Chains A and B, each alone.
Chain A
Amino acid sequence: MFPLLQLDGVGVRLGGRQVLSDVSFTVGKGEFAAIIGPNGAGKTTLIRVILGLRPTSAGRVIKGVNGAGAGRVGYVPQKIVIDSDIPLRAWDVVALGLDGHKLGFPFPSRRRREQVEQALQDVGALGYADARVGELSGGEQQRVLIAHALVSRPQLLLLDEPLANLDLRSEQEIVTLLGKLAREHEIAVLLSAHDMNPLLPVMDRIIYVANGKVATGSTDEVVTSEGLTRLYGHPVDVLRVRGRVVVVAGD
């Protein structure tokens, strides 16, 4: 397995407080990994550190094989706030994913159009390609932003709480889609979520964040009563019912 992303003993301080310490894990090519943890655990912080938007206080973040860079990194943020009046169609948002950093006006070409349409199709957003993006629903915007992140064929795709705005059906569709991207396109997918259950069918690796620390491995290794009790520092029970995992605070 080629690690596309490797964190070694990463620590993060924010506002004088140690938010995360000693975070180590790798995500390989074609692997599907999820950062799971309660609100305020540090999931967004961890993703921003990987993107290089937040400095670390310790350790290092290595992207790409032997640190050669992971090529393009796709990113979908947690809070998507798009002005409802902005003159951009879903189509244009995806096109910006292709060449939004370049200077000058875009040069329309057949290849460009096909790439954009393919990305919209991949996320099931072709039906509203021409709609003003600010007028789409939260879940629809989510898909458009995933297409924006995908269109440049990144090797590493980071998504912060991509399931937060979705109904059950869309949730399943997005999870299936992301799983497929990891398998078929060999993209390393790393996303965050507060509920691991929708991800159980596709998740290769869990990065469980709580109490400023992480536990990582397969779900069976990490999500156990003993393991999470150690992580949280107080008694926690893990129940498995009908293929679902429920984590409850013990007493």
Chain B
Amino acid sequence: MFSSLMFTGLMANTWIAATIVAVIAGMTGFFAVLRGEAFAAHAIPNGAFAGAAGASLLGVNVIWGLAVVAIASALGIGALGSKARHDVVTALTLVLMLGLGALFVSISNQYAQQAYSLLFGEVFGVSSADVPLIAVLGVLALAGIGLAFRPLMLTSAMPEVAEARGVSVRGMEIYFLVVMALATSMTVPVVGALLLFSLMIGPAAAARSITARPGLALALSVAIALITVWLSIALSYQTNWPLGFFVGVGGALFYLAGLAARGLAGLGGGTRRVHPAA
């Protein structure tokens, strides 16, 4: 029923770019959810929108604008987050960036189209020239998460114990935010800031409900992100409905399925041995 046309020409770039984006979103989203930084995962891509708008105003590749602003936001949230409340700082960073973004977009002459594509993505318009840069930034973000898998786990689960062992909780926090910013700057132009958020949170939240094994949960998070993206592209191509609709619905459905799976596992009872109280 699917047309084979959707794997040829321009669409090949779409599949490649979207696949890279899904892997990155699944991996970084996994730790964003685990560390309770879903809000930062929302704020950084949306804030980075200002950078993209600024870059296009200056006539620079938007990826550079995204990268600079995303990393600056990450460092800002990381640096101020220890003094003030994390969510408050994140929210302030977000509104500041959105304000700037609105200003840049209004100065620029092609604002409406530009703004729309940064928020909702241009997954069907990825050019061959974009693919290598996306791939390089993607590999960097992946290596960043993979390399720090264990310290990230340790600081997420037991910050005080980690600190006592000489693993800096604040250091890991800033490190993670910067990796997320890097991931953001390459993924926003492809899927857009809003879609990126659902792709980072939905699959990761579902994965951690389904299994308690850390490695498997990470792999599942990536797998669910991939399935969501692939299905969404195919459906969007066929129906001409917006991609965002399918990604959003897919994320929510997988999350609910995850909750249901965990509920069922809970009902099945454990294999734990319990000793009676004295």
- Give chain A's interface residues, CB within 8 Å of chain B: 51-53, 73, 75-77, 79-80, 82-83, 85-89, 92-93, 96, 99-106, 127-128, 130-133, 145, 148-149, 167-169, 172
Let me know if A167 and B153 touch, CB within 8 A.
no
Chain A's nearest CB lies how many Å from the CB of B156? 7
Contacts of B157 in A (CB 8 A): 82-83, 86, 88, 93, 96, 133
Interface size of B by CB at 8 A reads 39
CA–CA, A39 and B230, complex, Å = 57
- Alpha-carbon separation in the docked complex, A75 to B163 (Å): 10
Which of A53, A73, A100, A169 is within 8 Å of B277, CB to CB?
A169
**Sample of 15 more A-B contacts, CB < 8 Å, known A77-B160, A100-B153:** A53-B163, A53-B164, A75-B161, A83-B36, A86-B156, A87-B207, A88-B157, A96-B150, A101-B150, A101-B162, A103-B151, A104-B147, A106-B150, A145-B158, A145-B161
The 0/1 profile, CB within 8 Å of A marked 1, for residues 156-198 of chain B is: 1110111111110000000000000000000000000000000
B34:A87 contact, CB within 8 angstroms: yes
Alpha-carbon separation in the docked complex, A104 to B149 (Å): 6
Asked whether A101 lies within 8 Å of B147 as measured between CB atoms, the reply is: no
- Residues of A close to B277: CB separation below 8 A: 167-169
Q: How many residue pairs, one in A and one in B, have C-beta atoms under 8 Å apart?
A: 108
- Give Cα A169–Cα B215 distance, bound, in whole angstroms: 35
In Å, the complex CA distance between A73 and B165 comes to: 8
Q: Is B85 an interface residue (CB 8 A)?
A: no
| Contact call A104/B154, Cβ cutoff below 8 A | no
Q: Which of B65-73, B100-108, B241-249, B267-275 contacts A (4 or more CB under 8 A)?
A: B267-275
Chain B interface residues (CB < 8 Å from chain A):
34, 36, 146-151, 153-154, 156-158, 160-167, 207-209, 211-217, 270-275, 277-278
Do A100 and B154 have beta carbons less than 8 Å apart? yes
Q: In the complex, what residues of A have CB within 8 A of residue B166's CB?
A: 101
B147 touches A96 (CB 8 A): no
- On whether the beta carbons of B167 and A100 are closer than 8 Å, the reply is yes
Contact, CB under 8 Å: A99 / B150: yes
Flag if A88 contacts B212 (CB, 8 Å).
yes
Q: Compute how far the CA of A83 lies from the CA of B217 in the bound complex, rounded to whole angstroms.
A: 15
Hey, which chain B residues are within 8 Å of A103, CB to CB? 147-148, 150-151
**What's the Cα separation between A164 and B214 when bound, in Å?**
29
| 15 A/B residue pairs, CB under 8 Å, sorted by A | A76-B161, A82-B158, A83-B34, A83-B36, A87-B208, A87-B213, A88-B212, A89-B212, A89-B213, A96-B150, A100-B150, A103-B148, A105-B146, A127-B274, A132-B212
Contact B212 A127 (CB under 8 A): no
Interchain CA distance A132-B217 in the complex, whole Å: 12
Contact for A96 among B153, B163, B164, B207, CB less than 8 A: B153
Interface contact B213-A85, CB-CB below 8 Å? no
Per a CB cutoff under 8 Å, which of A52, A79, A88, A168 touches B153?
A88
Q: Is the CB of B160 within 8 A of A87?
A: no
> Which of A99, A100, A102 has the most C-beta atoms of chain B within 10 angstroms of its own C-beta?
A100
User: Are A104 and B212 in contact, CB atoms less than 8 angstroms apart?
Assistant: no
CB-nearest residue of chain B relative to A140?
Answer: B272
Q: Which residues does chain B contribute within 8 Å of A83, judged by CB atoms? A: 34, 36, 157
Cβ–Cβ contact B161 & A148, under 8 A: yes
- Given contact pairs A53-B163, A77-B160, A101-B154, A87 touches B149 in the complex (Cβ within 8 A): no
Taking CB atoms, residues of chain B closer than 8 Å to A106 are 150
Of the candidates A75, A92, A96, the one whose C-beta lies within 8 Å of that of B213 is A92
B145 CB to closest chain A CB, in angstroms? 11
Kindly provide the distance from the CB of A83 to the nearest chain B CB, expressed in whole angstroms.
7
